[in-house]
Amino acid sequence: MADIVSCHHSCSFSPLTKYGNRRHPSNRIELSNLHNPSSHQFKPLRSSEKSTSYEHFLKKLEVAKMVSQSIIRNVVGIIAAEWEIDLSLISLMNHHDMPFLRNGNVISFFLFLSPVPTYKRICKKKTTEEFHPWPYLATTMNCIFWIFYGIPIVHPDSTLVVTINGVGLGLEIIYLTIFFYYTNSKNRRTILLVLFAEIVLLAIIAVITLVCFHTHNARSMFVGIVCIIFGTLMYFSPLSIMWTVWKTKSAEFLPFWLCFAGFCNGVCWFSYAFLKKFDPYLAITNGLGGLFGLFQIIVYAYYTLRAKSNKGSSVGDGAKTSDEQLKKNYMASPA
């Protein structure tokens, strides 16, 4: 009987033995510590630790914000470039070529491709007629200085500015070559002299920038002011034919696509200048470019509509005169 009792005591089930001896100091969980702020398990952050953690959070937030703004800036720049090329190709291609337009990955500018219809006409007629070389000379100079502005030693993080204007410079050289081939000797001399002056001026500006200015901010400010001047000349250059337009009362030799592209390009890059870090040089130049482009579009529309109205009235007067002549001839004929 004693053996049975001892066996019963030794084999009796105890929840404390199954999950460990909760009363043992090593396994004891002090429930009072759960509500004790000074306990090491739930030790609150000190004020200095809170400030450090908050500053770390703000830094992460600022980095995320900068990354998102940089992405938006690049996307807007790429969209501006692709939008420009899409519009220009739409004007030049047939509807059967639209799948290529949608699927092609072409990077260029509507502004720089806008003279293509003009040069198709020049090549077809084998003469430059009343077209002027000044818009293409001004655009070449503008591209050269914006490329210089966008290099890392002058203004870092301007990859889009360099690539876009690099493509534009190549296209303008092609245009000037065609224009030089078909134009007269006077315009040829003008083209050669202006290109030589542009190269000399670029060399002078580069030397002044690298020798006299030693920080990115100073170099960006100096070259940016130069770019504002020549960018404004580029947008203003189609106005060189305004005298011909006013004298002839015709917008035939005012390149519409160049004016329209200047307007679109000015608006797009004006918006681009406000993304991430504000760029006043891009904003001023392209803001003025958008205004000049809008003015040229208005002039083109005015003279085009006026020419159509005059043509319609002349046709009506001709028909009226013809009817009166027939009536007079009928009355004069013998019965």
3-class DSSP state of 23: coil
Between 72-86, 142-156, 255-269, 274-288, the lowest mean confidence (pLDDT) is in: 72-86
In this structure, of 58-67, 118-127, 170-179, 318-327, the range with the lowest mean pLDDT score is: 318-327
The CB density around residue 6, as the number of other CB atoms within 10 Å, is 10
Mean pLDDT of 196-207: 94
- Which amino acid, 297? I
pLDDT of residue 206: 93
Q: Is residue 286 within 8 Å of 269, Cβ to Cβ?
A: yes
pLDDT of residue 179: 94
> What would the mean pLDDT of 102-106 be, rounded to a whole number?
33
d(CA 284, CA 281): 5
What sign for the dihedral angle of Cα 209, 213, 216, 221? negative
Find which of 43-57, 201-215, 275-289, 296-310 is predicted with most confidence, using mean pLDDT.
Answer: 201-215
Handedness of CA 164, 132, 123, 177 (dihedral sign): negative
Q: C-alpha distances in angstroms, 163 versus 17, 88, 130?
A: 77, 19, 32
Contacts of 178 (CB under 8 A, 6+ apart): 119, 122, 123
Residue 333 domain-assigned? no
Mean pLDDT, the chain, rounded, equals 70
Percent of the chain at pLDDT above 90?
19
Is residue 123 assigned to a domain? Answer: yes
How high is the pLDDT of residue 94? Answer: 37
Note whether residue 29 is domain-resident: no
Number of domains in the chain: 1
Outline where the chain has alpha helix (H): 2-11, 15-18, 47-92, 98-103, 110-113, 116-125, 134-150, 159-182, 185-212, 216-236, 242-248, 256-272, 280-332
What percentage of the chain reaches a pLDDT higher than 70? 59
Please give the pLDDT value at position 46.
56
Can you give the pLDDT at residue 283?
A: 84
**Alpha carbons 284 and 266: distance in angstroms, whole number:** 10
Q: Using CA atoms, how far apart are residues 305 and 125, in angstroms rounded to an integer?
A: 26
Q: pLDDT class for 87, splitting at 50, 70, 90?
A: very low
**20: pLDDT strictly greater than 50:** no
Tell me, what's the pLDDT at 109?
Answer: 59
Beta-carbon-side half-sphere exposure of residue 179 (alpha carbons within 13 Å): 26
What pLDDT band is residue 183 in, cutting at 50, 70 and 90? very high
Look at residue 234 and tell me whether its pLDDT is greater than 70: yes
Q: Is residue 291 part of a domain?
A: yes
pLDDT digit string (tens) for 113-140?
Answer: 778 888 888 999 999 888 888 888 988 9
Structure confidence at residue 170 (pLDDT): 92
Please tell me what DSSP assigns to residue 237.
Answer: G
With beta carbons less than 8 A apart as the criterion, state whether 225 and 281 touch.
yes
Query: b or e along 250-259 (b: 16 or more beta carbons within 10 Å of the residue's beta carbon)?
Result: ebeebbbbbb
Which residue is it, tokens 């502005």?
149
Domain contains 93: yes
> Is 43 among the domain residues?
no
pLDDT at 249: 80
State which residues form the domain around 81: 63-309
Higher pLDDT, 312 or 109: 312
| Position 130 in a domain | yes
The pTM (predicted TM-score) of the whole model is: 0.55
